[in-house]
Structure 1
Amino acid sequence: MTGGRVAKILRSSGWRLLLRPDVVYNRWLNNRELARRATRLRSMPSKIEIEVTNRCNLACLHCIRNRPDFHPQLGDMSLEDFEAILHQFPRILTLTLTGFGEMLMHPRFVDIVRAARRLLPHANILGYTNGLLIGQRFAAEEIVRSGIGQIHFSMDAATAETYKKVRRSDEFQRLIENIRSVLMERRRLRMRRPFVGVNFTIMNDNFCEAPEYVRLAAALGVDYIARPALIMTAWGYHDGAARITRRELIEVLRETRRVAEKLGAPMPIEGYMRDPEGYFAHYEENRRDAFRGCIFLWNHIQIDPFGNLKLCCAHPAASIHRWGNLLETPFRELWNSAPLQAARQALHDGRLPAAPCAQTCVNPDPILAD
């Protein structure tokens, strides 16, 4: 290994994994068991998502929170429960602190991150945020110093007018300034983390701004620009009847790609961004077969603020489906329980593992008008 590679590993904190061969082995074993679709697992998941709060300060058009029939129990996970759950996952590689809520609504968010960093010094800790509470509940410096490895800001617009339509907030400029402030604090403190990214979900009222989203994000100097996302679940899409035609969307995706390539923007050009025509030619077929490639019952789990083990990241509430509760039953018992083994076998056989999957993965999402 060259000196340059050694220096890169040391700067990225990747060297910590050299001290944890058990973590590396668990990931290797997990990948093997996923590849052969084993039903009883020796490995533990390498990625977990803990929804530290399901409260939010916005009411975005595309969020399930705006469904009139969706009334989940709201609350924040206590620091004690958070640590009790993390102690059950000493070998994870990735911890996400976001679910259907705004993570910065948690009054002890910085303490949550610090606890996670203390218990999992080798892990990548990340979260998604609307960014509007930076400077109000938490200073940018607090966020940067907390130990979080990645923070991704949800933009969904390139102008204040469109932001107000889709996110129902007139604080677009606050979002832009808060992204800048995190980047500035990171530079001022001479820190390499957190890695800063932005996201954009395509809807009726914003799809034409996808190219400008890339231009704006590139001008801000973020580390990562997520490709414009197509909503892949019918749970939360509430943007009215779809008005985007296939041809319109393909043209916008082409232009977005051209902008990204021209600017050298840090946006992955893959999947429907690389070949939108090919993707949408088999759109319905691709969506209906999506569940066959599901990985969530093997290496990626979701836990709500009350300790419930949820179905997957697209599944809205434990009240509709859950596998158990980690504050009541040790995860190791739940992980190879009869219901979870049966669900893995169902996926292996090409069947739905649970009834709610018909509303998350099987139905084509309602983004296109044709």
Structure 2
Amino acid sequence: MLELTNDIIIHLDAPTMVAEQFKQVPIQGWIVCHAVIQKVWISVENEGIRDYELKLVERPDVVEAYPSHSQVKGFIGIVPTNSLNSQSITFFFNVDGKILSHTFHLEEQESSPTLPFLKSINSQLYADDVAQKRTRLESTPVHINLEITNRCNLSCPTCARNYWDKEKNQIGDMDTTIIDLLSPYLERASFVGLLGYGESLLSGNFKSIVSQVIKFNPTIAMFNNGTTLGRKYVDFILDAGISGLIISIDGTDEETVRQTRTASLATILKNVNYLRQRSLERDIKTPQLSLSFTASQRNIEQLIQLVDLAKENGFLEIHIGFAKIFHPSLVAESLFLDQERAIQKFLQAKEYGEKQGIKVNIPPPFNSSVVCHQPFELFMVKWNGSVRLCCSTAIESDQALNINTGNLKELSLDELWNGELAQSVRSGLLGLGKMDKVCAKCPYTGCILERYIRIL
């Protein structure tokens, strides 16, 4: 902390040092005074020396500490590591029209809280992007989904894999170069999801990719069908600190699960409980277990039993969704054709779940509009480096079913995240421009039968 004058105090929270192993440097601090704080900036060496203006934010914690000062502002920003001197940073302050400056000399230390600051600042920038309704975002994705593979060992009747164009959707595995290309965004992402049109554990690269991702210290959750969650990977999952597992179970008896998932319920539950057992034996926290349930005419009557199954097997939460209809034969099973019964069963399950200590998340009301935030916060990365700004039907098809902005191997991260298509999509969702045709027909913007019908 430094007192520039008798009534101006500035403090730098981060960086305490420039960590060379990261591609970006978080800048966060605050200034208190009795005059108007108009601007805070630093000079960075990036394609020639230029000014980088820091964003002014509120700091209630500092206000409490300095109640006698009329002006309290925080400042935040993220700059490329190679644009800074690793030993010092000079800040410039426009305070009531007067330009002040100070150089902070950074200390060498063994560890640095760089990643937590990067994630915290990026989350603040995201909140400001949302509040200001920006289409070109200052934040980078707070949430990144990785499709480590699109291989699967099951053949669920409702899955797009049974109907997609096999030439357009080649089977493959993500390699570690994708993580290298993503690293500037992984540094800033708070959450990483391991999901897609395949089972992550079927990839021979699973361990190497997860080992890379955990270096960036995000919260990690993984979707799994329960059948691949065996002894081979359980200890690695616990050691990696994966904090959430979402297991797909679409029934409460063997016959229903074989019909809906082509899987054995007994095998799924055996694997889940082996994970729980190993976490107890090793005194490692069990990942939070959630259950994903695709509701249909075939299994809607089993929701109450599903709550009991969840409680008996360590699940804390149930997510209920509708299947997308990729083939005409699937229309008859849709609950859009029996909405009254579906609503009744959803509400019963939610109420029963509250009594049993299980959170039951039900779908939005039928025929309602839904607010979609995904293009403002999400990077969905396919196994081959193809990037979507949403996770809706993330496959290749003749008709566009998702927001595909390009490939990591061909375009820069900023081109993929803030390119013309991305900004146009956001503009439509904000009501500032025409709604993109993909968004206008997407079930994530409207809970309508026609939007769930996506014939391949």
TM-score clears 0.5: yes
1:338 matches 2:404: no
Letter in 2 for 1:303: V
Distance in 1, matches of 2:440 and 2:151, equals 24
What residue in structure 2 maps to residue 125 of structure 1? 220
Distance in 2, matches of 1:189 and 1:17, equals 28
Aligned partners of 2:289 and 2:314 also within 8 Å: no
**For 1:1-370, what aligned pairs fall within 5 Å after superposition?**
20-67=116-163, 69=165, 71-118=168-215, 120-121=216-217, 123-135=218-230, 138-169=232-263, 171-222=264-315, 224-231=316-323, 233-234=324-325, 239-242=330-333, 244=335, 245-265=338-358, 267-268=359-360, 280=365, 283-284=366-367, 286=368, 289-290=369-370, 293-318=371-396, 320=400, 322-349=404-431, 351-355=434-438, 357-361=440-444, 362=446, 364-365=448-449
Residue-pair matches, total: 332
- Cα 1:243–1:77, aligned 2, differ >3 Å: closer, same or farther? closer
- Cα 1:248–1:28, aligned 2, differ >3 Å: closer, same or farther? same
Normalized per residue, which structure has more strand? 2
Computed over aligned residues only, the root mean square deviation of the Cα atoms, in angstroms, reads 2.7
- Cα 1:17–1:252, aligned 2, differ >3 Å: closer, same or farther? farther
- Cα 1:353–1:367, aligned 2, differ >3 Å: closer, same or farther? closer
- Cα 1:238–1:127, aligned 2, differ >3 Å: closer, same or farther? farther
Letter in 1 for 2:436: P
Distance in 1, matches of 2:379 and 2:328, equals 23
Q: CA deviation at 1:185?
A: 0.9
Distance in 2, matches of 1:307 and 1:105, equals 18
Letter in 2 for 1:365: L
Normalised by the length of structure 1, the TM-score is: 0.81
Q: CA deviation at 1:327?
A: 1.8
Q: CA deviation at 1:178?
A: 0.3
Normalised by the length of structure 2, the TM-score is: 0.67
Distance in 1, matches of 2:372 and 2:271, equals 35
Q: CA deviation at 1:357?
A: 4.7
Q: CA deviation at 1:167?
A: 0.9
- Cα 1:316–1:173, aligned 2, differ >3 Å: closer, same or farther? same
What stretches of structure 1 of length at least 5 have no aligned partner?
A: 1-15, 273-278
- Which of the pair has more CA radius of gyration? 2
Q: Secondary structure at the match of 2:376?
A: coil
Distance in 2, matches of 1:80 and 1:242, equals 42
Aligned partners of 2:389 and 2:422 also within 8 Å: no
Distance in 1, matches of 2:195 and 2:353, equals 27
Letter in 1 for 2:128: R
Aligned partners of 2:115 and 2:187 also within 8 Å: no
What stretches of structure 2 of length at least 5 have no aligned partner?
A: 1-111
Provide the identity percentage. Answer: 24
- Cα 1:115–1:237, aligned 2, differ >3 Å: closer, same or farther? farther
Q: CA deviation at 1:181?
A: 0.6
Q: Deviations over 1:227-246 (max 9, x none)?
A: 32234x44589634146422
Q: Deviations over 1:66-116 (max 9, x none)?
A: 225565121100123233323443100000111111111112312222211
Q: Secondary structure at the match of 2:423?
A: helix
Q: Secondary structure at the match of 1:201?
A: strand
- Cα 1:261–1:334, aligned 2, differ >3 Å: closer, same or farther? closer
Distance in 2, matches of 1:311 and 1:155, equals 27
Distance in 2, matches of 1:145 and 1:184, equals 14
Q: Looking at both structures, which has the greater relative contact order when contacts are Cα pairs under 8 Å and sequence separation is at least 6?
A: 1
Letter in 2 for 1:229: G
Normalized per residue, which structure has more helix? 1
Distance in 2, matches of 1:22 and 1:206, equals 44
Aligned partners of 2:115 and 2:188 also within 8 Å: no
Distance in 2, matches of 1:83 and 1:298, equals 23
